[in-house]
Structure 1
Amino acid sequence: MCGIVGYIGERDTKNILLDGLRKLEYRGYDSAGIAVMNVDGVHVFKEKGRIAALDDHVDHKVAATMGIGHTRWATHGEPTHYNAHPHQSVSERFTLVHNGVIENYEKLKREYLVDAQLQSDTDTEVVVQLIETFVQKGSAVEEAFRHTLSLLHGSYAIALIDNQDSNTIYVGKNKSPLLVGLGNGFNVIASDAMAMIKETDQFVELMDEEIVIVRRDSYVIKNLEGNIQVRAPYTAELDASDIEKGTYPHYMLKEVDEQPAVMRKIIMEYQNEDGDIKLDSSIREAISESDRLYIIACGTSYHAGLVGKQMLEKIAEVPTEVHIASEFSYNMPLLSKNPLFIFISQSGETADSRSVLVHIKKLGHRSLTLTNVGGSTLSREADHTLLLHAGPEIAVASTKAYTAQIAVLSLLAVDTAKAKGITLGFDPIQELSLAAQAMEVLVDQKDIMENIARDYLAVTRNCFFIGRGVDYYVCLEAALKLKEISYIQAEGFAGGELKHGTIALIEEGTPVIAIATQAHVNGSIRSNLKEVASRGAHTCIISMDGLNDASDQIVLPEVHEYLTPLVSVVPMQLLAYYAALHRGCDVDKPRNLAKSVTVE
């Protein structure tokens, strides 16, 4: 949620900032703004709504070689022009952008800013007013900046400019992601390397409670006590061309289509020369020494974790629990004696998951992160990392990251089983390759999916998905996909639970979509579907080849039973996409949502 960019160098900064903000649109936002500085002072442009509205508002005649920008997702105060960033101090000397949540901002207002005339409802404005207050009392700017940050409780990524200093951007970070990018004669800042990958691929990581003094030709990292920290840059492995939609109308459709290629990329990355799975031996050792695995995740990643639990327990015979990160943080269960925590996050910046990671590290427990972003916070701070290799995922509704998570979890389960001497009876690489082929078949059936979406979902107000076993887990993901981009009230249920209350919601024409990929419950789920059909439901069944009836609407190519979620979810993704399309929704940027949830 929210995004920050900044530039200091020799080129005109306006378009660099606007382009960077466009790359951060995936994070979710409801207003945007930039502040640029030249010899005439600081010029602030901000607007409610999309980057396009901001671009129209910017005076492109103003030339400047230094500036900061921001996309805001409202947490304190409504999404209005006044609450949009950047915010300025009363005298307009200081201009600031901020991601995160300042938990004690009301207390700071009472203690330090009783007489200040605040212009917004945000916690952010308190920060910039505090800095000015301390400078007016005699502190140097850097000292005031560090002192202010030391008073803040919560999360922040902050960039500050001073209209009396045309050669410095002050940067600070705690819990919220922020990077400094290095160039030849210029430097940049960004919440995500993707925002500035066109400018540079050299980035410096920032740790919590650090500041950076960023100038055109240098950067200095310090902690809040003022002690210099030395850290070398790393190379961001992103291809700017991967971020573009190309000929696709939406990123989501592009990313659905990319899933077979992602499966093959995962095979390539995790297969050695002998055709066996190639994982770091330290990960294998960490799992073998643990007595229970705890998967921690949110949303779509949580649903992938549920599938992963089934694989780890049934293939590798390792006891596994799956927990919602935001619940685990405040309601930790009784842990086993020697746990290993597995964090699943597309962005690697999920605040709820990081809160758990920080806590379990204090307890001395080991951790593994599955993420799509190398160098992300969860990756850096965990003991081990497995990358998803899915490439940039821009659409808010996750598709290829979900299937990549399941694929990598399947390889982790197989590798663990082999280390324990368990005989598998199947070739995991071959089966994953066959699943990729099946996914390819399904993404080419868009006309079928669109027709079903039009028939079942174009005008309905609700929809139910039912399945048993691992199909139930996919139903949870199917419901999430549909509700988040089409705004249809959708729920996923275990088929056997219908008669325990849910069936009361079935009325004439209610869409009920069932998944049937498991032989041992095929008859049961079909019986559940008949129960709702007899009460007027508009039923649809998605079945596996070999388990199908002639009347089934979608028949999936047969794959190994452990990998059925990789193929059964593809029609669900496409049904959600076409439902949103036919209902006139913004597919890639659904309302109220963000791609990277960086606040708890």
Structure 2
Amino acid sequence: MCGIVGVTGRENATEILLKGLKKLEYRGYDSAGIYVNDQKGNGYLVKEKGRIEDLQAAVGPAVKGTTGIGHTRWATHGAPSQANAHPQVSADGRFYLVHNGMISNFRQLKQEYLADVDFVSETDTEVIVQLIARFVGEGMSSKEAFVHVLHLIDDSSSYAFLLMDKDQPNTLYVAKKKSPLLIGVGADFNVVCSDAMVMLSETHDFIELTDGDVVTVTPSKVEIEDAEGQSVTRHQFHVDDDATASDKGAYDFFMLKEIDEQPGVIRGLEQTYIAQDGQIEVDDKLMSAMNQADRLYIVAAGTSYNAGLVGKNIFEKLAAVPTEVHIASEFGYNMPLLSEKPFFIFLTQSGETADSREVLAKVNQLGYESLTITNVPNSTLSREATYTMLLNAGPEIAVASTKAYTAQIAAETILAKGLGMLKVTPAAAEFDTAFELTKAANAIQTLVDQKDIVEDLAATHLSTTRNAFYIGRGIDYQTAIEASLKLKEVSYVQTEGFASGELKHGTISLIEENTPVIAIITDQKTAELTRSNEQEVISRGASVINIVSENLAEEDDQIVLPAVHQLLTPLAAIIPAQLLAYYTSKERGYDVDKPRNLAKSVTVE
């Protein structure tokens, strides 16, 4: 959600900004803009509604400079428009500001300090840049005004700010609270970015900032002050990722590339966390902390929440530990009665999910231990939790998560096995983690190699429908929830996942002639029950697709899943559902990777 780039000390600042913004597209946005300065008194502001391609087309050859800032905006305050796009500019044309996050008290600030200012946008961001200009006009320096305004912002707000002063054209002023922001360190230049991945073509060395930090960045220096105004040194880390890992290569869309990468991601997790003798190689202190807990609380949002639903089943079966799964945005403000010794697991692809971070802050205040399972090292949730387990899945660019979902389930499986061995449960003793995950990876490979079957089904059943349903029982119901999310995310088909036994309790009234119903059947004890529910919708005109494990398959079943362990059937069953979503979106002519109104990293509550 929104993205920031900045650079100082490079002759090709415009090119660097546009390239960085292009790599930030995965976060979701509806407008974009840049401001660059050539150090000779010339500044250039270009903003456009729409895609980065629209911005690039508007950037003429004269727009050159050595220092600049850029932004991709996802509309919150004010509709998508050129006026509301960032950078926002002070009335005197001196200050330029890009901002991720939300300022809760912007209306009060506007009324108290800026009643005489004519605003050109509807954004909370313009209030901040106008305030900075106001206080500079009253005698403060640019930095003093910047810090003063930060103190006026209320505690419920979130921000990542990047400010330029036209009168100090080689300086960037930076501040963050709740929203992620990094400083990239170079030789005689420095950069600022929301995500290290977007600046890997310039540097691999980054400084992680802490909430409350105020930073002054010039080509030769990075000066950091904490919330109390004290000079501090923050941890610098090196990122080894290859910048080309975020390229599509021969694929039309990142989503398909990331679906195809899933077998390798599963095998990578095996190699990282499972020794050759089958022992689980996870932090001993983490496993001890989990073993002492009387209940696990999985907190997540969106696809990660759905991975948590699958994880609940795995933890309870392998480790025999009661497990609850909670939506982060609900849990943060309606915390249930906790057990005596809770342990919290945060599932997040980006490690920056604002809803989950709100919960983690409260968990830390209560003194409970926690684990973040994430794909992004040094992310906020990773730093602030007691423990971190990395997915190492590589960049996930498409907004609709695929490989992070399966990686999260695999990681939960590894943890559940390790915990079950500590608790000496029979189920854990019988479960060969490496073998079963390898078997699941092989099954995924088989399924991604059968794209033609799924593409035909999408064209036949889903290319023109306005709604669809996924049904299943038990763990298949959990898979149905994620499968329905994938389809609605990228194809805009109104899709719901239902426990198939619940159809006759109301939902069956929505079935019309040719309504697509996709049944997931992987559990022998409920297979016939789901097929019976399937007959109920067929008799009312539904068009049915079956996704069935091979040991339960019948002659007319369209998609047959290779055999995997019963606990891991979601790893196999979700693959055709991901492909159905992909091909339905493509069939309808949509941008699969960047569905409307959605953001990859949701950094505001």
Q: TM-score, normalised by structure 2?
A: 0.98
Supply the distance in 1 between the matched residues of 2:520 and 2:477 (Cα, whole angstroms). 8
What is the aligned partner in structure 1 of residue 283 from structure 2?
Answer: 280
Supply the distance in 1 between the matched residues of 2:36 and 2:142 (Cα, whole angstroms). 19
Pick aligned residue for 2:329 from 326, 330, 346: 326
Q: Alpha-carbon deviation of 1:593? A: 0.3
What is the aligned partner in structure 2 of residue 459 from structure 1?
Answer: 464
Supply the distance in 1 between the matched residues of 2:320 and 2:11 (Cα, whole angstroms). 58
> What is the percent sequence identity of the aligned residues?
57
What is the aligned partner in structure 2 of residue 523 from structure 1?
Answer: 528
Conserved in 2, the CA contact under 8 Å of 1:14 and 1:60? Answer: no
What is the aligned partner in structure 2 of residue 221 from structure 1?
Answer: 224
Supply the distance in 2 between the matched residues of 1:450 and 1:203 (Cα, whole angstroms). 42
Pick aligned residue for 1:543 from 535, 543, 548: 548
CA deviations 1:336-392 (Å, max 9, x no partner) are 121111100000000000011111111111110000001000000000001111110
Residues 345-384 of structure 1 mapped to structure 2, 5 A cutoff = 345-384=348-387
What is the aligned partner in structure 1 of residue 151 from structure 2?
Answer: 150
Q: Alpha-carbon deviation of 1:314? A: 1.0
Pick aligned residue for 1:266 from 269, 287, 310: 269
Conserved in 1, the CA contact under 8 Å of 2:278 and 2:432? Answer: no
Deviates more, 1:83-92 or 1:217-226: 217-226
Conserved in 2, the CA contact under 8 Å of 1:146 and 1:225? Answer: no
Conserved in 2, the CA contact under 8 Å of 1:379 and 1:385? Answer: yes
| Count of residue pairs the alignment pairs up | 600
What is the aligned partner in structure 2 of residue 76 from structure 1?
Answer: 77
Residues 187-336 of structure 1 mapped to structure 2, 5 A cutoff = 187-336=190-339
Supply the distance in 2 between the matched residues of 1:404 and 1:33 (Cα, whole angstroms). 35
Conserved in 2, the CA contact under 8 Å of 1:146 and 1:224? Answer: no
Supply the distance in 2 between the matched residues of 1:332 and 1:421 (Cα, whole angstroms). 31
Q: Alpha-carbon deviation of 1:225? A: 3.1
Q: Alpha-carbon deviation of 1:334? A: 0.8
Deviates more, 1:566-575 or 1:355-364: 355-364
Supply the distance in 1 between the matched residues of 2:315 and 2:458 (Cα, whole angstroms). 34
Q: Alpha-carbon deviation of 1:166? A: 2.1
1:146 is aligned with what amino acid? V
CA deviations 1:154-173 (Å, max 9, x no partner) are 00000001011122100000
What is the aligned partner in structure 1 of residue 61 from structure 2?
Answer: 60
Conserved in 1, the CA contact under 8 Å of 2:278 and 2:433? Answer: no
CA deviations 1:176-217 (Å, max 9, x no partner) are 000000000100000000110110010001111111100101
Supply the distance in 1 between the matched residues of 2:316 and 2:107 (Cα, whole angstroms). 48
1:358 is aligned with what amino acid? A
CA deviations 1:90-143 (Å, max 9, x no partner) are 101111100000000001011111111111000000000111111111111111
Supply the distance in 1 between the matched residues of 2:176 and 2:343 (Cα, whole angstroms). 28
What is the aligned partner in structure 1 of residue 391 from structure 2?
Answer: 388
What is the aligned partner in structure 2 of residue 429 from structure 1?
Answer: 434
Q: Alpha-carbon deviation of 1:11? A: 1.9
Supply the distance in 2 between the matched residues of 1:426 and 1:351 (Cα, whole angstroms). 36
Q: Secondary structure at the match of 1:365?
A: coil
Q: Secondary structure at the match of 1:100?
A: strand
Pick aligned residue for 1:448 from 424, 444, 453: 453
Q: Alpha-carbon deviation of 1:273? A: 4.1
Q: Secondary structure at the match of 2:171?
A: strand
CA deviations 1:417-436 (Å, max 9, x no partner) are 00111233131110000100
CA deviations 1:210-267 (Å, max 9, x no partner) are 1110010110110233211112311123211211100001000000000001111111
Supply the distance in 2 between the matched residues of 1:179 and 1:230 (Cα, whole angstroms). 14
What is the aligned partner in structure 1 of residue 21 from structure 2?
Answer: 21
2:2 is aligned with what amino acid? C
Is 1:177 paired with 2:180?
Answer: yes
Q: Alpha-carbon deviation of 1:274? A: 2.6
Pick aligned residue for 1:411 from 410, 414, 432: 414
Supply the distance in 2 between the matched residues of 1:415 and 1:226 (Cα, whole angstroms). 45
What is the aligned partner in structure 2 of residue 122 from structure 1?
Answer: 123
Q: Alpha-carbon deviation of 1:40? A: 2.7
Supply the distance in 1 between the matched residues of 2:37 and 2:594 (Cα, whole angstroms). 31
Supply the distance in 2 between the matched residues of 1:136 and 1:512 (Cα, whole angstroms). 64
Deviates more, 1:144-153 or 1:292-301: 144-153
Q: Secondary structure at the match of 1:54?
A: helix
1:309 is aligned with what amino acid? K
1:61 is aligned with what amino acid? A
2:369 is aligned with what amino acid? R
1:583 is aligned with what amino acid? R
Q: Secondary structure at the match of 1:245?
A: coil
Q: Secondary structure at the match of 2:336?
A: coil
Deviates more, 1:89-98 or 1:39-48: 39-48
Q: Secondary structure at the match of 2:551?
A: coil
Is 1:99 paired with 2:100?
Answer: yes
Deviates more, 1:419-428 or 1:431-440: 419-428
Conserved in 1, the CA contact under 8 Å of 2:417 and 2:431? Answer: no
Q: Secondary structure at the match of 2:120?
A: coil
2:226 is aligned with what amino acid? N
Pick aligned residue for 1:470 from 456, 469, 475: 475
Pick aligned residue for 2:504 from 477, 499, 507: 499
Q: Alpha-carbon deviation of 1:532? A: 0.7
Supply the distance in 1 between the matched residues of 2:339 and 2:117 (Cα, whole angstroms). 52
Pick aligned residue for 2:538 from 533, 538, 562: 533
Conserved in 2, the CA contact under 8 Å of 1:182 and 1:203? Answer: yes
Pick aligned residue for 1:584 from 584, 589, 592: 589
Supply the distance in 2 between the matched residues of 1:10 and 1:341 (Cα, whole angstroms). 44
CA deviations 1:261-314 (Å, max 9, x no partner) are 111111111122433221110110110111111100000000000000000011
Conserved in 2, the CA contact under 8 Å of 1:178 and 1:206? Answer: yes
Pick aligned residue for 2:163 from 160, 165, 180: 160
What is the aligned partner in structure 2 of residue 31 from structure 1?
Answer: 31
Supply the distance in 1 between the matched residues of 2:455 and 2:235 (Cα, whole angstroms). 50
Q: Secondary structure at the match of 2:119?
A: coil
Supply the distance in 2 between the matched residues of 1:247 and 1:584 (Cα, whole angstroms). 19
